[in-house]
Amino acid sequence: MTILDVKNLSISFYTRNGTVKAVKNVSFNLSKGETLAIVGESGSGKSVTCYSLLDLLPKPPAKIESGNAYFEGSDLLNCDKNAMRMHRCDDIAIIFQDPMTSLNPFLTIGEQIIEPLIKNPNPDKKLARKDAKLQALSLLREVGIKNADERYHSYPHEFSGGMRQRVMIAMALITEPKLLICDEPTTALDVTIQAQILRLIKKLQKNRDVAVIFISHDLGVVAGIADKVMVMCDGKIKEQDSTNEVFYKTKDDYTKKLLAAIPDGAKRLPNRSTKNILVEVKELKTYFKNHTKKRTDANYFTRAVDDVSLKVFEGEILGLVGESGSGKSTLGRSILRLAPIYDGSITYAGEDIKNLTKTNLLPYRKKMQMIFQDPYASLNPRMTVYETLSEPLLYHKVASKNNIDSLIYQLMDDVGLARGSIFKYPHEFSGGQRQRIAIGRAVATKPEFIIADEPVSALDVTIQAQILDLILNLVEKHNLTMLFISHDLSVVRYISDRVVVMNAGKIIEQGITEQIWENPAKPYTQDLLSAIPFPDPIRERKRATWL
């Protein structure tokens, strides 16, 4: 039975800088209990399509140009405010990407969950607070919140990311909707938590027979849970078919490109690593002070990096893997002396750099550089490409006023930026191009050692592949040594020679990448590896049943 039927939907945004056609002639339908995955990169129109169903788009600038969306016979795109309110309250629910910003920090989660029940515009369905609470509690237990009676009165900030997303799911399901829209529900979560949430969504859907629209940029995530897949690009549908057809008999070139861009296996450089230790970290401890606690308190220090020792050999790419809060970024920043080191030692090419003064550290700053995660935050919005790239060159006197222009052009060629964009500001570039600028800044002084802190995790999958190849290129060309930090195990496997696994500030396991992949020794590593979603529906479905 078809529950949702969208026909010829077109949406445009009328902005000061012109009209953007965000969705072009999109049609799809969904039956009861079915899961449709909408996959696309950022700007593909996947979220806009779904938001329009619930009238969540800001109008203006958005305008629905044409189309209908029949939900059980009534058109969602042309209904009045009250009818839409009924739909939102009873029939259609939505889960957003970031559970922190989509929950109200000033209300307890219980209060937020029961809101649609006690304020239901339909008097027949309106519940008393007491009954609503009972329903909410049983649902909280169902989504896996322990001590639901106590947690009912907790505030969002008292939950971890994964738990918050469970709360969001409970909130969405409390009205027993017939259609659930999930907008990248696991993108902000760690890989092990992601696996749990996916399983939960799948389970709840089966038990309740809800239709689900699952929006994602990640084909791997979608493989295990979707019945149908719709691939979107630039507002158009590229391919729409059953999951098996899309994955195993891919027809569209763009879908093929998406699938190919998922890092699979390893693309390591020929063995370049030597026996020379370039960076050695011994018993490193980086603690942050908790100013709210007393000095004598056991929790006075947050032990971000706790007694870590590792070696980076010249010429290798060392992958550093861990979930959020594992201390992997802090370790990277500590090595560059950007974080407060409590104890331990760091040596660079045999020289101690932990105790160097700022001035004495300066020559090492030239040799060690960093690439940051978020290309939107790591570039000064008021500096042009020229200024951003010239800063390290001039500061370290690599270039003089006379030859700086040619050096910058060369740098831009190296990282694949068009020379014509030299005087543009960061906001005029796409995410991938911005990351190229940031990489250009990092390699400007011809460093020997680069720490790349999640350099591709903020990027779309096709862009991610390009940036990874660029990094490999530069590593080879400039003979770099790299510490590559990432939460994404497939990316680390793709790029690194050796790998270090971190959790809770400590190193769990380290070794040659392939060996760790084939034979993880520690349970934590095993869990991590088994949680990676693969773009292979049959394998994913099998796993979903035995997990």
Using the minimum distance from each CB to other proteins, give the nearer residue, 130 or 427: 427
Residue 340 CB partners (closer than 8 Å, separation 6+): 286, 287, 288
- Minimum CB–partner distance for residue 419 and other proteins (Å): 5
**Rounded Cα–Cα distance for residues 436 and 385 (Å):** 10
Sketch the per residue contact string, 282 through 321, with other proteins: x for CB under 8 A, - otherwise: ----------------------------------------
**Does residue 234 touch other proteins according to CB under 8 A?**
no
**Rounded Cα–Cα distance for residues 123 and 121 (Å):** 6
**Rounded Cα–Cα distance for residues 196 and 163 (Å):** 10
Applying the rule CB under 8 A, the residues between 138 and 167 that interact with other proteins are none
- Minimum CB–partner distance for residue 341 and other proteins (Å): 14
The helix (run of H) or strand (run of E) holding residue 389 is helix 385-395
User: Angle 191-208/161-173 helices, nearest 10 degrees?
Assistant: 20
Sketch the per residue contact string, 381 through 410, with other proteins: x for CB under 8 A, - otherwise: xxxx-xx---xx--xx--------xx-xx-
- The DSSP secondary structure of 127-184, one letter per residue, reads --HHHHHHHHHHHHHHTT-TTHHHHTT--GGGS-HHHHHHHHHHHHHTT--SEEEEES
Q: Per CB under 8 A, which region of 22-30, 176-184, 438-446, 496-504 contacts other proteins?
A: 438-446
For other proteins (CB under 8 A), the number of binding residues is 50
Please pick, from the candidates 52, 326, 369, 496, the single residue that binds other proteins as defined by CB under 8 A. 369
Please pick, from the candidates 7, 303, 365, 506, the single residue that binds other proteins as defined by CB under 8 A. 365
**Contact (Cβ atoms closer than 8 angstroms) between residue 461 and residue 217:** yes
Please pick, from the candidates 157, 249, 295, 427, the single residue that binds other proteins as defined by CB under 8 A. 427
**Cα–Cα–Cα angle for 60, 66, 69, rounded to 5 degrees:** 100
- Minimum CB–partner distance for residue 237 and other proteins (Å): 24
Please pick, from the candidates 44, 433, 496, 513, the single residue that binds other proteins as defined by CB under 8 A. 433
Please pick, from the candidates 95, 229, 331, 379, the single residue that binds other proteins as defined by CB under 8 A. 379
Using the minimum distance from each CB to other proteins, give the nearer residue, 171 or 438: 438
**Rounded Cα–Cα distance for residues 155 and 68 (Å):** 39
Using the minimum distance from each CB to other proteins, give the nearer residue, 99 or 392: 392
- Tokens 């070794």 belong to residue: 511
Please pick, from the candidates 151, 238, 328, 333, the single residue that binds other proteins as defined by CB under 8 A. 333
**Rounded Cα–Cα distance for residues 141 and 133 (Å):** 12
Closest CA to 67 of 8, 112, 4, 139: 8
Each residue of 383-421: b (16+ CB within 10 Å) or e? ebbbebbbebbeebeebeeeebeebbeebbebbbbeeeb
Site residues, other proteins (CB under 8 A)? 16-17, 333, 336, 338, 358, 361-362, 365-366, 368-370, 372-374, 377-384, 386-387, 391-392, 395-396, 405-406, 408-409, 418-425, 427-430, 433, 438, 441, 445
